[in-house]
């Protein structure tokens, strides 16, 4: 797009929004300050560098688009490419199985900071902050139960793993002088009718209490609730009710993955309740299609509503934004760029809402006026503001990134 066109469109948009009392420059500045944690696992279909084993734990990637990253260098190369196509300073979210194991087999209860030192150094060079995840899937001891396993030996293995991961996250946080957010998601559940449901939940709560007892000042832990997994359809130990209670009673960050609820539920509706009882939210922005399918995030009503709810609750500073999807059927670099930009578009639209006016209408019981303004707000020229945001940050504007990614595919990923 030409510079003149971008600037002209932005001027008009700015004026249009100003009439409703909205400062578009300020919204852009705010958006620039919101990092999005890029999930490393879209580069390689959640395989990692531990044992090159098929994915387990009730999650699944589908598709075999060429160009999957096979080594740590390829993952880094791809993430670096993605960074060049995104405005703003984002974060990188690593899973434990992406450690730099130097060609040796390092079991999950043996992992240490040394396996992530090269990541810490690489990230520092690129001014990229790291987030982290323990990995309890894709392992011979994963089975159906990890932290909730009544078998003490298996349970202790995973407790040890998760404790070690927290220390790694703490080292990352210390090195980057900013807390590393570490997510704990375990797939624990069962395929069929489960009779003693309370028992496994008691065990999970105990395991988590033990894990979280260690005071680590440079990291923050969050725990992720889920509805079900493939092969684990009838019972999920770490359900929403479980983690709502757990996070509220222990003051722990709640991870809200947009694919982890009933398909007819409005996930955004949970935000204003959770915020009253948990300290912060970690968002896994995803796109479920009929199930937790982890399609690439797009600017749809669900994602828009999620960010509108957060902004309407004045809670942007209490939400960590991360992506979580894995589509192996399209260009993976493209998947990142589409999903991140879609998330930014949704945040921007939320920031551009005429909130003061809407709240005033609501206060005064002006139902018609509130609904009318909400409808009108949908067709305000936000696209011109988003284009200018990208232009200002020297990254491709509009669909220009498609050609860029095609070029990278020709030069790099198609040769893998």
Contact call for residue 44 and Zn ion (CB under 5 A): no
* Subset of residues 276 to 315 that bind Zn ion, contact rule: CB under 5 A: 284
Identify whether 260 is a catalytic site residue.
yes
| Nearer Cβ to Zn ion (24/134) | 134
Rounded to a whole number of angstroms, the minimum distance from the CB of residue 185 to ligand RNT is 4
224 as an active site residue: the answer is yes
Alpha carbon distance 61, 293 (integer Å): 8
- Is residue 185 among the annotated active site residues? yes
The active-site residue, picked from 257, 309, 327, 353, is 257
> Which ranges constitute the DSSP H helices of 177-235?
197-212
Q: How far apart are CA 137 and CA 115, in angstroms?
A: 19
Cβ neighbours, 10 Å, residue 121: 12
Measured from the CB atom, the residue of 83 and 133 that comes closer to ligand RNT is 133
Cα–Cα distance between 244 and 238 in angstroms, integer? 10
Q: Which of 185, 270, 305, 327 is catalytic?
A: 185
The reply to whether 294 belongs to the active site is yes
> Measured between alpha carbons, how far is 227 from 229 in angstroms, rounded to an integer?
7
Return the number of the residue (133 or 343) whose C-beta is nearest ligand RNT.
133
Binding mask 234-273 for Zn ion (x = CB under 5 A): -----------------------x----------------
Largest separation between any pair of C-alpha atoms in the chain:
67
Residues that bind ligand RNT (CB under 6 A): 41, 46, 59, 133, 185, 224, 226, 257, 284, 292, 324
E-only strand ranges, 112-250 = 129-133, 180-184, 189-190, 219-224, 235-236
Nearer Cβ to ligand RNT (170/257): 257
> Would the CA dihedral through 137, 142, 148, 154 be positive or negative?
negative
Reference 89, options 31, 35, 27; nearest CA is: 35
Cβ closest to ligand RNT, residue 38 vs residue 355: 38
Which residue has the CB atom at the shortest distance from ligand RNT? 185
Query: Contact positions toward Zn ion, by CB under 5 A?
Result: 257, 284, 324
Which residues carry out catalysis? 185, 224, 226, 257, 260, 284, 292, 294, 324
């Amino acid at each position: 797009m030409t510079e003149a066109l971008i600037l002209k469109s932005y001027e008009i948009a700015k004026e249009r929004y100003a009439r409703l009392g909205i400062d578009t420059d300020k919204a852009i500045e705010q958006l620039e300050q919101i990092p999005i944690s890029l999930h490393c696992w879209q580069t390689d279909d959640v395989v990692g560098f531990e044992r090159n084993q098929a994915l387990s734990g009730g999650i699944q990637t589908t598709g075999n688009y060429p160009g999957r990253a096979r080594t740590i260098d390829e993952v880094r190369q791809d993430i670096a490419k993605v960074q060049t196509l995104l405005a703003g300073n984002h974060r990188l979210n690593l899973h434990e199985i992406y450690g730099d194991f130097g060609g040796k087999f390092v079991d999950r209860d043996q992992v240490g900071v040394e396996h992530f030192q090269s990541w810490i150094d690489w990230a520092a060079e690129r001014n990229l902050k790291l987030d982290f995840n323990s990995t309890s899937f894709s392992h011979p001891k994963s089975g159906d139960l990890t932290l909730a396993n009544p078998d003490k030996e298996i349970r202790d293995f995973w407790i040890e793993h998760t404790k070690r991961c927290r220390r790694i996250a703490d080292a990352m946080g210390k090195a980057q002088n900013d807390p590393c957010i570490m997510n704990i998601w375990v797939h624990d559940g069962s395929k069929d009718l489960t009779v003693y449901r309370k028992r496994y939940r008691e065990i999970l709560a105990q395991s988590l209490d033990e894990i979280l007892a260690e005071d680590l000042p440079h990291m923050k832990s969050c725990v992720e609730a889920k509805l079900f997994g493939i092969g684990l359809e009838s019972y999920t130990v770490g359900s929403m009710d479980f983690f709502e209670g757990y996070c509220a009673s222990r003051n722990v960050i709640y991870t809200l993955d947009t694919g982890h609820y009933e398909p007819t539920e409005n996930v955004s509706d949970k935000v204003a309740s959770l915020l009253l009882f948990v300290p912060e939210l970690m968002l896994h922005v995803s796109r479920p299609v009929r199930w937790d399918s982890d399609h690439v995030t797009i600017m749809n009503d669900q994602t828009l509503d999620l960010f509108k709810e957060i902004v309407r609750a004045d809670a942007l500073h209490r939400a960590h934004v991360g992506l979580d999807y894995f589509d192996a059927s399209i260009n993976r670099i493209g998947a990142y760029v589409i999903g991140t930009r879609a998330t930014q578009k949704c945040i921007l639209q939320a920031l551009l809402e005429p909130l003061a006016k809407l709240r005033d209408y609501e206060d005064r019981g002006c139902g018609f006026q509130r609904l009318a303004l909400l409808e009108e707000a949908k067709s305000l020229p936000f696209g011109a503001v988003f284009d200018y945001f990208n232009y200002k940050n020297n990254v491709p504007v509009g669909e220009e990134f498609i050609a860029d990614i095609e070029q990278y595919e020709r030069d790099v990923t198609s040769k893998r």
